[in-house]
Copies of this chain bind each other. A is one copy, B any other.
Amino acid sequence: MCPLPVLVIGSYDGEGRANIMTVSWGGICCSDPPSVAVSVRRGRYSYEGIAEHEAFTVNVPSASQVRDADYAGIYSGRDEDKLKALGLRAVKSELVNAPYIEEFPLVLECALRQTIKLGVHTQFIGEIMDVKIDEEAVDEQGRPDVSKIQPFIFAPGDGWYYRVGERMAQSYSVGKK
């Protein structure tokens, strides 16, 4: 399927150390309560931490952070402190028991509500308790501006990351009769 997001998931491990992992299996799943779904393989180092602390963050990296995001998808927190290796700063959420990453432009702080075993992946459903966004990444009305956040997408077919391109049309408008 496409386009797929690139999401850096923040959690604490069993010793309370902040860790990140990058996933592309995920998305918004409910408007009220506002909820996001991310899928994690059992055996991934973040899995137990999310389940134990019942919390995670979804950090959206900007195109300039593609190396960090790719790194966090390749290496395991079992073997090293990825945040230290990348020079990223984990901040403890005041709302859930998970860290978010200060350098990423958009952050969702999530309380784990459901854990759904699907197969090799388990889906974590998190209620979004707060959204934090860089001041520089909002438009004049204070709304998230994708052209400023500059997220990027993952194409599993050929393994490329793609930039988000230009604005094309307005929703609930271009298709009106």
- Contacts from A to B (Cβ < 8 Å): 1-5, 7, 24-33, 35-37, 39, 41, 58, 60, 63, 66-75, 106, 108, 113-114, 116, 118-121, 123, 125, 139, 141, 143-147, 149, 151-155, 157-177
Contact = CB atoms under 8 A, between A and B. Distances in A.
Given A26-B27, A153-B153, A36 B169 contact: no
Given A31-B25, A33-B119, A70-B174, A3 B1 contact: no
Given A160-B170, A163-B168, 13 more contacts: A3-B146, A3-B152, A27-B27, A30-B123, A32-B119, A66-B174, A70-B171, A70-B173, A70-B174, A70-B175, A114-B118, A116-B125, A159-B170
Counted per complex, copies of this chain come to: 2
Contact of A66 (B63, B69, B114, B168): B168
B159 A146 contact: no
B155 A144 contact: yes
